[in-house]
Chains A and B, each alone.
Chain A
Amino acid sequence: MEVRKPKIKAIPYDEFKDNESLEKIVDELHEGGVNVVTGNLDSLINWGRSNSLWSLTFATSCCGIEFMACGCSRYDFSRFGFEVTRNSPRQADLIMCAGTITHKMAPALKRLYDEMAEPKYVVAVGGCAISGGPFKGSYHVVKGIEEIVPVDVFIPGCPPRPEAILYGMMQLQRKVKVEKFFGGANHKQSKAERELGVSNAELVARRLGDHRRETIVVTDVPQEFVEELKENKEEQA
């Protein structure tokens, strides 16, 4: 059975045909073939997932205002199921990185990304998030968040109009729709995953030499703190 051509309300499939990276994902999935049962279940679950994408409110500058405008009555992206924004990364499906990321903010962005649960996505909104934009020449601006986290959808503009943000989100919907959930995100934990304590997606990224999915683990814990913890434990015991 073939993966179904994803259907997104309001935008016909043909209009997305120019998107090579998504076509590639579809082709890869076709190579191994898809089980009839899990394939159908996949499309059901992906239908649900793609129509309730919850984004983390992560607006650093101008693009954030356009993101707010998207949520309000004129553009109203609740039509597509994007209206729930979460302030905690634990509850969010994607980071909507709307605005410039500076050197001081970069660790915070990485940490927020690490804190999110799989499957997770990143949307880079606006010139600054894509490449540094008008601030490319600055001494304190990250030249595109792709250096820090893997990005799924880029939405160009300075700032992008709400229509563009909607279009970009629909591209993400489409990406979600062609993903494998059974055997992909949802599977029996493999030996490597158990031993290393990392997710499947991260293992794949590591195999490809992409270290952006690796979480930053703090190892240099101050010795005093460790001793204090030990003492507390002993006291309790």
Chain B
Amino acid sequence: MKLEFLSFDFEKFAKEMQNLKDKKGFDFLVTIVGEDFGEEGLGCVYILENTNTHERTSVKTIAKVVDGENVIPTVVNLWKGADLLEREVFDFLGIKFLGHPDMRRLFLRNDFKGFPLRKDFQATNEYTLDDDVEPDYGLEYSLDRDGHLQQKENRLFTSDDYVVNIGPQHPSTHGVLRLQTVLNGETVKRVYPHLGYIHRGIEKMWESMTYPQTLALTDRLNYLCAMQQRHALVGVIEEAMEVELTDRIHYIRTIMDELQRLDSHLLFTSCCAQDLGALTAFLYGMRDREHVLNVMEETTGGRLIQNYYRIGGLQDDIDPNFVKNVKELCKYLRPMIKEYMDVFGDNIITHNRLENVGPMSLADCINYGVTGPAGRASGWKNDVRKNHPYDMYDKVDFEQVTFDTCDSMGRYLVHINEMYQSLNIIEQLIDNIPEGDFYVKQKPIIKVPEGQWYFSVEGAAGEFGVYLDSKGDKSPYRMKMRPMGLSLVGALDPMLRGQKIADLVTTGAAIDIVIPDIDR
């Protein structure tokens, strides 16, 4: 999608955003992109969606400089999902959001010097092995009558509260996530996520890379969605360059995306079972995942990191046995998915532990931006493949799986049923892969024309999008991802308030978060 910004200045911004939400129905905040616009100053790009018409729009605003600090009014009162997104912008660019109750760093250490995504940032390679001193309050900024910046401390918890740190080294957080959990007895009062334990600064690295070089890093985000994430990145570059792909490329990309989804969902169902203590289901799932990996590996050469798509097509043609192997895989997997339900999904313990755990209503899901299977379990039809079709998805016949149970069991079942849908899609395409080139030749040095684009795909755990701002060079001016998991982590707090601490693990398991994707 080429972005045609609506530009609002500082004074009108809060009112216009309210209008967009209330009158125009843009109730889903897709992402906030913080950007150093150079001479214009620092600013933000908001991408919004109307969930009824699936119309998207984008808003650009430039931060106002008050007392030497860049400020923008917060939108957290309109879209709750903005909470972590605004903290991310503050962390990377130093823009302070007026009225945001909790302006702390999100990814970097509190003693980190500078703001990495500003263009004048000078990286040092120094680090310390001392513990980070974390404030137990968040700052709320506001402007007083004279237009000066005021700050107020909001305590995160009182000295009477019982606070448990879960992570960063914990087996059931699926990576190095840290959840600071405030408890009342066994009941969760509040969850504060601490991110950045695997923040690698990919977006900053991209700014000094040529476009083909940028591709290598996407596979290492959510390594179970390597294909889809790379798809989003090549998609945005191809859209900006107006590359016409052959049908063969579209077919193969769609099949590969779905194979990757199977891989990810199989690992999800396995790990979900293991987090609940069902080791058998874990081993069954991992066994079948190897079959999927085999099929992909024969074509791409990689087990986990595939490096298969490139700008203008694919690295190489499919393996001669690919069609045969995929058909065998589809035949093999269908009864196996049934088996997971037999050994784990229909088990009474599973039902007891997952039902009504981590509930979130449809309205909250949209407000917090909980995309993917977690949102669909609350009945939100948010599948990017349906709403903003790309490649072959508007030509194949598949059903968007939704539930209205709004709980963890629903999320698990969405994953199970989506595997059947993925198999359906693959079976429709695999016999009809047309002849043609697997690669449309590009110039040796790839330059993208000036402009801003946003392209998103349906990853295994939600919408994965890439925002590209090009100044016509061979490397991007700013590229930013919409990670699948960030909004899910933001939603953990409302899901878990009032629930038991043991349900934190279950909710985290059923929501399908992968931390390197969140931290980037």
> Can you spell out 22 A-B residue pairs with CB atoms less than 8 angstroms apart?
A58-B169, A60-B176, A61-B198, A62-B304, A62-B305, A65-B224, A69-B303, A72-B283, A87-B171, A100-B516, A103-B109, A104-B108, A104-B132, A104-B199, A105-B198, A106-B127, A108-B169, A137-B205, A140-B201, A158-B305, A159-B303, A216-B129
Instruction: Tell me whether B101 is interfacial, beta carbon within 8 Å.
Output: no
Q: CA separation between A69 and B288, bound complex, in Å?
A: 11
In the bound complex, what is the Cα–Cα distance between A87 and B171 (angstroms)? 7
B217 x A134 contact (CB < 8 A): yes
CB-CB contacts below 8 Å: A78-128 with B: 87, 99-100, 102-108, 110, 112
* Contact between chains at A139 and B290 (CB < 8 Å): no
A interface footprint on B151-179 (CB within 8 Å = 1, 0 otherwise): 00000000000000000111100011000
Tell me what chain B mostly uses at the interface: helix, strand, loop, or mixed. loop
Indicate if B96 sits at the interface (CB-CB under 8 A): no
Q: Are A106 and B129 neighbours in the complex by a CB distance under 8 Å?
A: yes
Of all A-B residue pairs in the complex, the 10 with the closest CB atoms, nearest first, are A139-B123, A72-B286, A103-B127, A62-B223, A138-B201, A61-B516, A135-B200, A105-B197, A87-B171, A140-B201
Contact in complex: A66, B304 (CB < 8 Å): yes
Contacts of A138 in B (CB 8 A): 123, 200-202, 204-205
The residue in chain B whose Cβ has the minimal distance to the Cβ of A143 is B125
Over the window 1-42 of chain A, the binary record of Cβ atoms lying under 8 Å from chain B Cβ atoms (1 yes, 0 no) is: 000000000000000000000000000000000000000000
Q: Which residues of B89-142 have CB atoms within 8 Å of chain A's CB atoms? A: 107-109, 116, 121, 123-125, 127-132
Contacts of B283 in A (CB 8 A): 72-73
For the complex with contacts A60-B516, A135-B202, A141-B201, 12 further pairs of A-B residues with Cβ separation under 8 Å are A65-B223, A65-B304, A72-B286, A72-B287, A73-B283, A103-B109, A105-B198, A108-B168, A108-B176, A138-B123, A140-B199, A142-B127
B504 at interface, CB cutoff 8 A: no
Asked if B267 is at the interface (CB within 8 A of a chain A CB), the reply is: yes
Docked pose: A141 CA to B128 CA in angstroms: 12
Chain A nearest CB from B128 CB (Å) reads: 7
B78 at the interface (CB under 8 A from A): no
The reply on A161 being an interface residue by CB < 8 A is: yes
Q: If A62-B220, A62-B305, A158-B305 touch, does A57 touch B199 (CB 8 Å cutoff)?
A: no
**Is the C-beta of A148 less than 8 angstroms from some C-beta in chain B?**
yes
B196 at interface, CB cutoff 8 A: yes
Q: Is B20 an interface residue (CB 8 A)?
A: no
- The docked-state distance in angstroms from the alpha carbon of A105 to that of B177 is 11
Interface residues on B, range: 35 or more
Which positions 249-296 of chain B face chain A at CB distance < 8 Å? Answer: 267, 282-283, 286-287, 289-290
Within 8 A of B (CB), among A197-226: 216, 218
- Is the C-beta of A68 less than 8 angstroms from some C-beta in chain B? yes
Q: How far is the CB of A180 from chain B (nearest CB, A)?
A: 31
A105-B176, A108-B168, A112-B169 given as contacts; is B129 within 8 A of A61 (CB)?
A: no
* Distance between Cα atoms of A100 and B205 in the complex (Å): 15
- B171 near A57 with CB under 8 A, answer yes
Q: For the complex, what is the distance from the CA of A175 to the CA of B35, rounded to whole Å? A: 51
Give bound CA distance, A148 to B130, whole Å.
12
Task: Given A62-B305, A66-B304, check contact A141 B200 (CB 8 Å).
Answer: yes
A107 close to B169 (CB less than 8 A): no
Is B208 part of the binding interface, using a Cβ–Cβ cutoff of 8 Å? yes
Specify which chain B residues have a CB less than 8 angstroms from the CB of A72 in the assembled complex.
282-283, 286-287, 290
Task: Judge whether B216 is part of the interface by a CB distance below 8 angstroms.
Answer: yes
- Residues of A at under 8 Å CB distance from B? 57-62, 64-66, 68-69, 72-74, 87, 99-100, 102-108, 110, 112, 134-135, 137-143, 148, 158-159, 161, 216, 218
**Cα-based distance from A61 to B224 in the complex (angstroms):** 11
Given the known interface contacts A104-B109, A158-B305, the answer about A61 and B132 at a Cβ–Cβ threshold of 8 Å is no
Provide the residues of chain A in CB contact with B516, threshold 8 Å. 60-62, 99-100
Q: Residue on B with the closest CB to A216? A: B129
Complex alpha-carbon distance, A87 and B107, angstroms: 24
Whether B305 contacts A161 by the Cβ 8 Å rule is no
A218 CB to nearest chain B CB (Å): 8
Question: Which of chain B's residues have a CB closer than 8 A to the CB of A134?
Answer: 216-217, 220
Whether A74 pairs with B290 at a CB distance below 8 angstroms is yes
- Contact across chains for B220 and A148 when beta carbons are under 8 A apart: no
* Beta-carbon nearest neighbor of A69 in chain B: B286
What A residues does B124 contact at CB under 8 A?
Answer: 139
| Residue of A102, A110, A141, A161 most packed against chain B (CB within 10 A) | A102
Q: Closest CB of chain B to A7's CB: distance in Å?
A: 30
* Contact digits for B444-486, partner A, Cβ 8 Å, 1 yes 0 no: 0000000000000000000000000000000000000000000
Among B168, B200, B216, B217, the most chain A Cβ lie within 10 Å of the Cβ of B200
From A60, A69, A73, A110, contact of B198 by CB (8 A): A60
- Check B286–A68 contact: CB distance below 8 A: yes
A218 to B130, CA, bound (A): 9
- Contact in complex: A65, B171 (CB < 8 Å): no
Which residues of the partner chain A approach B175 to less than 8 Å between Cβ atoms? 59-61, 64
Rounded to whole Å, the gap between the CB of A71 and the closest CB of chain B is: 8
Residue of B whose beta carbon sits closest to that of A103 = B127
The winner among B128, B267, B305 for most chain A CB atoms within 10 A is: B305
List chain B residues, Cβ under 8 A from A60. 175-176, 197-198, 515-516
A68, A107, A112, A137: the one contacting B128 at CB < 8 Å is A107
Cβ distance B168 to chain A, nearest Cβ, rounded Å: 6
From residue A161, how far is it (CB to closest CB) to chain B in Å? 6
Contacts of B116 in A (CB 8 A): 139-140
**Cβ of B282: which chain A residues have Cβ within 8 Å of it?**
72
Give B178's nearest chain A residue, CB to CB. A108
Which residues of chain B are near A148, meaning CB under 8 Å? 129
CB-defined contacts of A142 to chain B, threshold 8 Å: 127
Write out the residue numbers on chain A whose beta carbons fall within 8 Å of the beta carbon of B201. Answer: 135, 138-141
How far is it, in angstroms, between the C-alpha of A161 and the C-alpha of B293 when the chains are bound? Answer: 12
The answer to whether A102 touches B199 (Cβ under 8 A) is yes
Residues of B within 8 A of A159 (CB): 223, 303-305
Determine the distance from Cα of A161 to Cα of B124 in the docked complex, in whole angstroms.
Answer: 33
Selected contact of A66 from candidates B132, B197, B199, B303, CB within 8 Å: B303
Task: Find the A residue at minimum CB distance from B121.
Answer: A139
B204 contacts A139, C-beta separation under 8 Å: yes
Taking the closest CB of chain B, its distance from the CB of A112, in whole angstroms, is 6
